[in-house]
Amino acid sequence: MNETENLQNLPVVRGEYKFNEALKNYTWLNVGGPADVMFMPKDVADLQYFLQNKDENMPVFVLGGGSNLLVRDGGIEGVVVKLSDACFREIKIESDRIICGAGLLNNVLKKTVENEGLGGLEFLCSIPGCVGGAVRSNAGCFGREISDVLISAKVVNGNGEVLELRNKDFHFAYRHSEFPSDFIIVEVTLGYERQSSEDVKKTIEQQAEYRKAHQPQGIRTAGSTFKNPPQMRAWELIKNSGADKLKIGGAQMSLQHCNFLQNDGTSNASDIEDLCDEVKRMVKDKCGVELELEVNKVGRR
């Protein structure tokens, strides 16, 4: 796609288009090629209009917080939708639930959870990324998953229609939800239990201290790289296979937690992908277990 073709074929919207936008600036791993087009809708109606009027063959990919994502060096074909407008980060608190825009970052939600005493949501505050992405991947930690607190989600389907989905509609499993790839989450409703602000803050602080002690901080990473196989821990399999010391280019497994890979600042996406492939091969050869990526790998290699 070139910029002239894009300008001719894309619907006229109220939001913003960016062409050949460097996606590494939007991901925690800080690697990857450009988006052919990035679209930042003004609101839900603008997103609907775009989906209803775009070329039916134009691919669409939704970019959330970029925390659990590996964009390949060739970039992403078609249009990358980024819900960056303030309307997608709004928060509304009701008596037993909180309604959040899908683009709200989980670490920004923390302040509201602490101040309002929204018990049961503490775990979500320490998960990298945004609320919408957490639903799609059924993100979790500290024994909790977002499926434990999700009441419903508002989505826009590929035809631009707004739908309300209940928890059961996602068919959640470990780090997984079943939901059409062309659905875009725009709003999430979560349940909570009223607690004192002090108790909620204490829980969040304890969880933050645990992460600080056991997981790498302040580096270019995408969180847990591989899912835990049933009744096993991915990090133990990686260590037992000897893959914990692997390094390819600027990518290596973290010395602090070997299920975290990191970019030392010089890596490209191919280094990271090759590292993941080699870790999988070594674990399969030495331990007889097929690891599955938790990181979402997208784009052209």
Report residue 292 as tokens: 């599955």
CA dihedral 154, 158, 159, 164 (to 10 degrees): -20
| Mutual angle of helices 234-241 and 269-287, in 10-degree steps | 80
- Measured CA to CA, the distance from residue 33 to residue 132 in angstroms comes to 23
Annotation says 175 is catalytic: yes
Tally the residues of the chain. Answer: 301
Q: Are 262 and 219 in contact (CB under 8 A)?
A: yes
The sign of the torsion formed by the CA atoms of 97, 103, 104, 106 equals positive
Q: Are 156 and 49 in contact (CB under 8 A)?
A: no
Catalytic position from the list 137, 152, 177, 224: 224
Annotation says 224 is catalytic: yes
- Residue numbers annotated as active site: 175, 224, 294
